[in-house]
Structure 1
Amino acid sequence: MDIKSVTKKNSYTFNQWWRLFATAFGFVLFGIYGLVILSILWFSLLRLLIWNKNQRSIIAQKSISLSFKLFLWIIKFLGVIDYQFNGLEKLKQDKSCLIVANHPSLLDVVLLASIMPRCDCLVKGALLKNIFVSRIIKTAGYILNGESSQILPQCQQILDNQGKILIFPEGTRSVPNQPMILQRGAANIALRCHANIRIVHIECKPTWLIKEQKWYDIPVKKAFFNITIGEKITISDFSDQNTTIAARRLTKYLTSVLEKTNENK
């Protein structure tokens, strides 16, 4: 912990100190729960009792969703954050599509997965080295971000079974006041799997748990997350030309749509 952080914490208000304690408590509790109860006990039991991989993944995803919902309820009850969802009925109707969102905070995946009992996520392969999440990723059947020859068949199978795939096309958390740069992965999956895209806007005021920010850097006011389920992009509007060109055009359009979130902050 550097001197700047120490000086900052010395000027914390009582409410900030409380949120610091509550944040630490919430993360420790969730870490223990995720590793021991969810990963080691419940998911091990699932592997023994449910031999069908697809059925096991669906149950695991529902378990993760409920766990995230409980975690969010706890930290909201403790006064760490507040949040609201707008347009949830759209997500309930969506099937066989990509859910594409901007990525301002570490809690983005927790917030979105909590409202989608069945949700496949595109995750970094490096997370398999993390003891807290590796078994969760495997049991839930999440898609590892690797070779397109491996990703596309898995995505196609999920979409064919009316599933939804959550993707943050920035690839990492965004940096405030910096241009948004999207990777073409989401566009390529949508085009090659002929899947529509549902846009989700995530706004966090004040910013918290952004890229390279320490968890103990507590803002003066508690963070408020405003999650809005936005427009649905029909993939046929972009698939009338060469796939490479179409992916560039779609990525450019996704960038313009998602940047509106940053402009409104």
Structure 2
Amino acid sequence: MADSSLSLRPGRTRPGCNYYWRLVMTAVSFTLFSVGGLLLSLTWFNLLLLVQRDKHRRRQMARRSIAWSFRCFLRFCRLVGVYDYRIEGTEQLQRDRGCLIVANHPSLIDYVMIASVLPEMDCLVKADLQRNFFLRGVIRAADYLINSEADTLLPDSQQRLARGETILIFPEGTRTRYGESLKLQRGAANIAVRAGCDLRVIHITCTQRMLDKQSRWYQIPPVKPLFTVRVASRIDSQSFCENHEDAQPLAARRLTRHLEQALVPENKL
């Protein structure tokens, strides 16, 4: 992996014009993302509250709007050279119904890339994001599940999965720390086992270090990175269950251990 630091070492050339162009455009893209989220909340989502009284229809329209804005954002970043990206297996992913989508979480834009091709996808988000001035309106309009609502999280998840919705969960709970192995929480496995649903595995990789847990937004790589989202296997959660009293807790532990291997991208095995 390339070192994103600006410090020069013996034999290392000074960053060129392309580097500084990408640095400026990275700042512009972050500003656009934040301001775009705020504008959607203040204008379009408030308009939806006035013109669309049906809650489920309003939520559907809000999520489609979010997916459209994400596609525009990703294309802008590609156009100005901040990064490139590709999503493999989109059609297969769009056919999935009533399942959890589980992915590794190497960067800040993982959710953006997946949501851009799934206009009606649900998502389990961190409670802290509800206090984010730019994003809280988006989360409210999309009616995403909140990970701190322990009493209602499981029944709400079961209800939405039963309706055929897909829910995106990053089982690590936060972005992967560079150079460390995956450490998963049991939330995704618990929901899958108790809801009796399948899990769709997604692998996310990047050719350079960018927007990871230990990097600031301005620590960009020396060359333009390529993000790849690859749709992988589908897992039957019920194959981990046994017929005895402690079946579900044991099944969740076994499924979590399995996911710790299944979520590792092939080029990192």
TM range (shorter): over 0.9
Say if 2:178 and 2:214, in contact at 8 Å, map to a contact too. Answer: no
Deviation at 1:55, TM superposition (A): 1.4
Change in 2 beyond 3 A, CA 1:34/1:260 = closer
Any gaps of 5 or more consecutive residues in structure 1? none
Question: Which residue of structure 2 lines up, in the alignment, with residue 239 of structure 1?
Answer: 241
Letter in 2 for 1:211: K
Cα distance between partner residues in 1 of 2:151 and 2:166? 20
Say if 1:202 and 1:261, in contact at 8 Å, map to a contact too. Answer: no
Question: Which residue of structure 2 lines up, in the alignment, with residue 256 of structure 1?
Answer: 261
Q: What does the per-residue CA deviation read over 1:209-256, in whole Å, with 9 as the maximum and x for residues that have no partner?
A: 000311111101111011110000012211235111100000000001
Displacement over 3 Å in runs of 4+: 4-8
**SS of aligned partner of 1:259:** coil
Letter in 2 for 1:17: Y
1:11-22 matches, within 5 Å, as 11-22=14-25
Cα distance between partner residues in 2 of 1:49 and 1:240? 49
Asked if residue 229 in structure 1 is aligned to residue 239 in structure 2, the reply is no
Cα distance between partner residues in 2 of 1:6 and 1:81? 18
Say if 1:184 and 1:247, in contact at 8 Å, map to a contact too. Answer: yes
Question: Which residue of structure 2 lines up, in the alignment, with residue 190 of structure 1?
Answer: 192
Any gaps of 5 or more consecutive residues in structure 2? none
CA RMSD of aligned residues (A): 1.7
1:1-265 matches, within 5 Å, as 7=7, 11-36=14-39, 38-241=40-243, 242-261=247-266, 263=268
Normalising by structure 1, report the TM-score: 0.93
Deviation at 1:148, TM superposition (A): 3.2
Letter in 1 for 2:59: S
Say if 1:238 and 1:249, in contact at 8 Å, map to a contact too. Answer: yes
Say if 1:143 and 1:151, in contact at 8 Å, map to a contact too. Answer: yes
Cα distance between partner residues in 1 of 2:91 and 2:122? 19
Deviation at 1:34, TM superposition (A): 1.5
Deviation at 1:262, TM superposition (A): 6.3
Cα distance between partner residues in 2 of 1:31 and 1:48? 24
Q: What does the per-residue CA deviation read over 1:20-41, in whole Å, with 9 as the maximum and x for residues that have no partner?
A: 01111111122212112x1100
Say if 1:68 and 1:113, in contact at 8 Å, map to a contact too. Answer: yes
Cα distance between partner residues in 2 of 1:186 and 1:41? 34
Cα distance between partner residues in 2 of 1:164 and 1:238? 21
Identity %: 43
Cα distance between partner residues in 2 of 1:88 and 1:158? 22
Corresponding pairs, count? 259
Deviation at 1:6, TM superposition (A): 6.4
Cα distance between partner residues in 2 of 1:194 and 1:115? 25
Greater CA drift, 178-187 or 240-249: 240-249
Cα distance between partner residues in 2 of 1:34 and 1:11? 36
Cα distance between partner residues in 2 of 1:252 and 1:168? 15
Normalising by structure 2, report the TM-score: 0.92
Change in 2 beyond 3 A, CA 1:88/1:184 = same
Cα distance between partner residues in 1 of 2:236 and 2:156? 21
